[in-house]
Structure 1
Amino acid sequence: MRAIIVDDEELARCRLTILLEEIQEITLCGSFATALDALKYIDENPVDVIFLDITMPEMDGMEFANLLIDKKSSASVVFVTGYGEYAVEAFELEAVDYLLKPIKRDRLVKTIDRLARKNYREVQQLYIKCFGGFWVLVQDEGGQAISWRSPKVEELFAYLVCKVSVSRDEIADTLWEGFPLDKAMKNLNSTVYYVRKALQQFGMEECLITTRKQISLDTKRIYCDLYEFQQMQNLAWKTEKEMERLKELYRGELFQGKTYEWSFPKAHTLEKNMISNLLKAGELREDQKRTEDAERLYLHALELDPYHEGASDKLLDFYNRTGRKKKEKQLRKEIGLLLSDEVPHPLLFLKKHY
């Protein structure tokens, strides 16, 4: 960790410098007598932790820490002072620790351990996959899966992933429909407890934000395929790279295999948007005279929903315009059989050609 010292007392700076240089996890990058000099350095150089005196002339440590918050600095602050009365205010400014002078080595080591744990938690990330099922992993696609105490605990987390921020009343009405309000709220509170406990095993409990009326997820430490899809879904068809990414993301229906009735309308909308992108991308490939690519996109759309009238019409029209009469005839026949319930879903045609 890259560290700097900010203290107007030279002896205090020298003593802390000696202590920090003995700690392997710390790289001391600078020692400053004034807050202004330290701020200038931070503006131009990366810093992970600041050992900050509170009582200094011109600008004290509290003002300095507030400035860091305003600047949205990622540097952690450890207050160093000869006075204990600032502790409450210091922690309100999100300080990692509060050291009293003279600093002892064993106490400093505890601070470094606390910084290391904080940094580890900050690099941890939840990796959530909602298409084709529902998985919550820690760190990345190959990470450890979170185990939920019960299906209802998992469902609550899935609901929060979809909503990001939602009222307790709405959750109770949706997940415990028909329950008396007091019973529903009691169930909600205990289920929230088990969600937090599951996240806590991996130091991710801060992702869950609860207030008296609202429950939210802090998405800064979450990657979710659903969020990426929603950001791309309106214009992905315009570029080949984004269209390929959209296809990678959409591995199946939203929460496929789960019986979350509240998710069915959203799942239908997302599938519609995916099919719309495939059809528009197919039209674009046709304009570019890339007929094989266009056919693959139309087939993909029909595979997602063999009953989608727009997708079947688009593919039939494509075969007609490109002179592929045999494929057109075969597809018309199978669509007719499908609509008469004489063949199982999906179309045999898709198995052969897609």
Structure 2
Amino acid sequence: MKAILVDDEGLALKDLERQLEKIGDIEIVGKFQNAAAALQRVGELRPDVAFLDIDMPEISGLEAAEQIHKINDDIEIVFVTAHHEYAIKAFELAALDYVLKPINADRLLHTINRLKLRASIRPASTEPPVATISCFTRLRIEYGKAEPFSWRTVRAQELFAYMVYKRNQPVRKDILLDLLWPDTEYKKAFTQLYTTVYQIRKSIEAAGLTIRLTNSGSDYYLDLGNNRYDVQEWENGRLSLPELNPETAAQHIAWLRSYEGDYLSETDYVWAENERKRLRDIWYKHALSVSEMWRASDCRKETLEIYELMEQRFPFSEELYFLIMQFHSDNGDLDMSKLKYDQLCSMLHEEYAISPSVAVRQWADATFR
């Protein structure tokens, strides 16, 4: 059984450690003299039980217990205290037991036996599934089951998507109200916010996921834990690419092709537009770098292939049309260059009822006259 010990008094911490080692069957995986440090490590250490002193500065043992249960509700809590009056509060927090200071060896043994008994009758827990949250094209959560992740309401789905966008940072409640219920009376909007957060938590709980949506006064905070997020993984993939050259180009193109579709493009979330544009810009600039490398290497077939890939993603980009026109012209194929210019004129007229820019028209006049 793995345990962490938290007590701001060093001598008390050592005494508890000594007595637990004497009893045996307890592996002490962490000792801390402040609760904040323990809370930072509890998810990583994954103890079965936390022995918490109650009277600690900054974060008390009672507050730490609440936070630990938010991280992992299966962790048993044993309070260590010099005050009887904490007993009632301890059991309100679903603590297994409390031990009075100075610690009596027999009383501590009784607590350890209770822990063993609880562990023996508790159903064997299975590892929670590692989910993949996907936001390319639309919001999806894949968590190892055939049935799709269930959203109680469309508003719950959007709120979760926004919290994923703002993951690992606090989001003020008033911002969420303005974003999702801008025309709703303030008190009613707050009620809807709380209801929606509750719905999200219940959906996460029903799926058995380790995602945490927590409340800290005026803010909400989404912790994805060890679950995967496709947008972050895609961005991280670019950072791990080797230096771009003809030998490594295949890896760069594979990364470009892994872009499954624009960020939440099947939704009408107004707030998603900036992130959508940011990710598109990342893709476009990298594809442009690949095309420039192929052109500099005089690899015409490969250059046209990357231009074709770029056109699939950016079919209405005048800049891209112009690059392809110039490429054909530089390679002596004025007929293909003129064809591309005519396609640009038709596209701009049909989509936007405009003509090509002055710079493009002047280039065309000078090239095709």
TM-score bucket (shorter structure)? 0.5 to 0.7
Say which is worse superposed, 242-251 or 302-311, in terms of deviation. 242-251
CA shift, 1:135, in A, is 0.7
Determine the structure 2 residue equivalent to 1:151.
154
CA shift, 1:338, in A, is 1.3
CA shift, 1:115, in A, is 10
Distance of 1:10 and 1:190 partners within structure 2 = 47
Residue of 137, 150, 157 corresponding to 1:132: 137
Give the gaps of 5 or more residues in structure 2. 5-16, 70-74, 79-96, 98-107, 353-369
Distance of 2:47 and 2:193 partners within structure 1 = 37
Residue of 269, 281, 286 corresponding to 1:277: 286
Q: What SS is found at the alignment partner of 2:274? A: helix
Please tell me whether the aligned partners of residues 3 and 49 of structure 2 are also in contact (alpha carbons under 8 angstroms): no
Q: What SS is found at the alignment partner of 2:133? A: strand
Distance of 1:75 and 1:114 partners within structure 2 = 20
Distance of 1:248 and 1:332 partners within structure 2 = 27
CA shift, 1:248, in A, is 3.9
Distance of 1:10 and 1:194 partners within structure 2 = 44
Structure 1 letter corresponding to 2:140 = W
Residue of 329, 333, 337 corresponding to 2:342: 333
Determine the structure 1 residue equivalent to 2:365.
none
Say if 1:80 and 1:222 are closer, same or farther in 2 by CA, change over 3 A: closer
Please tell me whether the aligned partners of residues 3 and 28 of structure 2 are also in contact (alpha carbons under 8 angstroms): no
Say if 1:193 and 1:149 are closer, same or farther in 2 by CA, change over 3 A: same
Please tell me whether the aligned partners of residues 167 and 215 of structure 1 are also in contact (alpha carbons under 8 angstroms): yes
Please tell me whether the aligned partners of residues 129 and 136 of structure 1 are also in contact (alpha carbons under 8 angstroms): yes
Determine the structure 1 residue equivalent to 2:266.
257
Say if 1:183 and 1:236 are closer, same or farther in 2 by CA, change over 3 A: farther
Distance of 2:172 and 2:156 partners within structure 1 = 17
Please tell me whether the aligned partners of residues 133 and 258 of structure 1 are also in contact (alpha carbons under 8 angstroms): yes
Structure 2 letter corresponding to 1:170 = I
Please tell me whether the aligned partners of residues 126 and 222 of structure 1 are also in contact (alpha carbons under 8 angstroms): yes
Say if 1:191 and 1:178 are closer, same or farther in 2 by CA, change over 3 A: same
1:113-151 CA distance string (max 9 Å, x none): 76963x724xx3331111122212226xx8763210111
Please tell me whether the aligned partners of residues 237 and 280 of structure 1 are also in contact (alpha carbons under 8 angstroms): no
Please tell me whether the aligned partners of residues 236 and 277 of structure 1 are also in contact (alpha carbons under 8 angstroms): no
Q: What SS is found at the alignment partner of 1:101? A: helix
Pair 1:77-2:47 in alignment: yes
Give the gaps of 5 or more residues in structure 1. 17-49, 54-60, 344-354
Structure 2 letter corresponding to 1:314 = L
Pair 1:228-2:233 in alignment: yes
Distance of 1:331 and 1:201 partners within structure 2 = 54
Please tell me whether the aligned partners of residues 136 and 260 of structure 2 are also in contact (alpha carbons under 8 angstroms): yes
CA shift, 1:76, in A, is 3.5
Say if 1:62 and 1:332 are closer, same or farther in 2 by CA, change over 3 A: closer
Determine the structure 1 residue equivalent to 2:116.
108
Please tell me whether the aligned partners of residues 129 and 226 of structure 1 are also in contact (alpha carbons under 8 angstroms): yes
Q: Percent identity?
A: 19
Please tell me whether the aligned partners of residues 51 and 79 of structure 1 are also in contact (alpha carbons under 8 angstroms): no
The count of residues paired between Structure 1 and Structure 2 equals 293
Determine the structure 2 residue equivalent to 1:287.
296
Residue of 189, 197, 200 corresponding to 2:194: 189
Say if 1:150 and 1:245 are closer, same or farther in 2 by CA, change over 3 A: farther
Say if 1:113 and 1:232 are closer, same or farther in 2 by CA, change over 3 A: farther
Q: What SS is found at the alignment partner of 1:136? A: strand
Determine the structure 2 residue equivalent to 1:320.
329
**1:8-87 alignment to 2 at 5 Å?**
12-13=23-24, 16=25, 51-52=27-28, 63=32, 69=38, 72=41, 74-78=44-48
CA shift, 1:230, in A, is 4.3
Distance of 1:213 and 1:287 partners within structure 2 = 55
Structure 2 letter corresponding to 1:212 = G
Say if 1:75 and 1:113 are closer, same or farther in 2 by CA, change over 3 A: farther
Residue of 124, 127, 140 corresponding to 1:120: 127
Distance of 2:237 and 2:21 partners within structure 1 = 55
Structure 2 letter corresponding to 1:158 = A
Determine the structure 2 residue equivalent to 1:46.
none
Determine the structure 1 residue equivalent to 2:314.
305
CA shift, 1:267, in A, is 1.6
Distance of 2:285 and 2:161 partners within structure 1 = 25
**1:154-165 alignment to 2 at 5 Å?**
154-164=157-167, 165=169
Say which is worse superposed, 151-160 or 283-292, in terms of deviation. 283-292
Aligned CA-pair RMSD = 4.2
CA shift, 1:280, in A, is 1.7
Q: What SS is found at the alignment partner of 1:131? A: coil
Q: What SS is found at the alignment partner of 2:182? A: coil
